[in-house]
Amino acid sequence: MPNKYLSQEAFRQLARHDLATGAATERLGSVVRLVEPGSRTRRFCFSDGSVDRMGDVIDVRGWETADFLRNPVCLYAHDSSAPPVGKVVNIFVSGDRLMGDIHFAPPEVYEFADTIFKLIDGGYLNSVSVGFLPLEFEFADDRRGINFLRQTLLEISIVPVPANAQALIEAKGWSRGAVSIERPALSTMSFSGTARDRRWFLARSLQRGI
């Protein structure tokens, strides 16, 4: 299933052309596993304020979670067409980290959720991903990144993450394959139509590698 979120690089390209309004992106977090023995609840670091490998920073004070908490599902690999594997039962800020607890569905309710739960406890799955909608951001040209200042949390997913750094970027891509960082021709493109049409055209260009 193709990822429905823009990669951070694709989002950056849109933002440079003032076309990023309404575009959603994602960032990886990690398993913490601070749990009560016998519980099906596991603790995760959903996001933090560090500079990631794309040069981006998400301000932990800028998270808006009210809409998410109305339906706090945990998906697998951002697949909203499948039942959730769990639900977020607690979410909070600790220092510069957005933390939370996910309670996984038992095997008699959803066998696949139990498989994911066992893979996490076995150390085979070690990452989560937050899908979010940026509301305020600024460019950090010194590191060719973005400072996300305010953002709405859309959903949280358990995700498989390859060990190779370049494969990680591909896994975070908006569609099939990675988005190349070097796209010099984009700066010379001309656009017509509505902002939504221009955003769609540029996103498709990034997706297809033209």
| Residue 6 pLDDT > 80 | no
What the block records as the tokens of 96 is 């510069």
| Residue 171 pLDDT > 70 | no
- Give the burial class of 58: count Cβ atoms within 10 A of its Cβ; 0-12 exposed, 13-18 middle, 19 or more buried: buried
Handedness of CA 131, 158, 96, 11 (dihedral sign): negative
| Residue 27 pLDDT > 90 | no
| Residue 40 pLDDT > 70 | yes
Confidence of residue 181 (pLDDT cuts 50, 70, 90): very low
Q: What pLDDT is attached to residue 119?
A: 94
The whole-number average pLDDT for the span 168-192 is 31
What the block records as the tokens of 162 is 């390859």
pTM for the whole structure: 0.68
Confidence of residue 186 (pLDDT cuts 50, 70, 90): very low
Asked if 202 and 185 touch (Cβ cutoff 8 Å), the reply is: no
Q: What pLDDT is attached to residue 138?
A: 93
Confidence of residue 149 (pLDDT cuts 50, 70, 90): very high
Asked if 183 and 206 touch (Cβ cutoff 8 Å), the reply is: yes
Confidence of residue 31 (pLDDT cuts 50, 70, 90): low
Q: How far is CA 7 from CA 110, 194, 203, in A?
A: 30, 23, 10
What is the tens place of the pLDDT at every residue in 76-127?
988 989 999 999 999 999 998 899 999 999 999 999 999 999 999 898 988 8
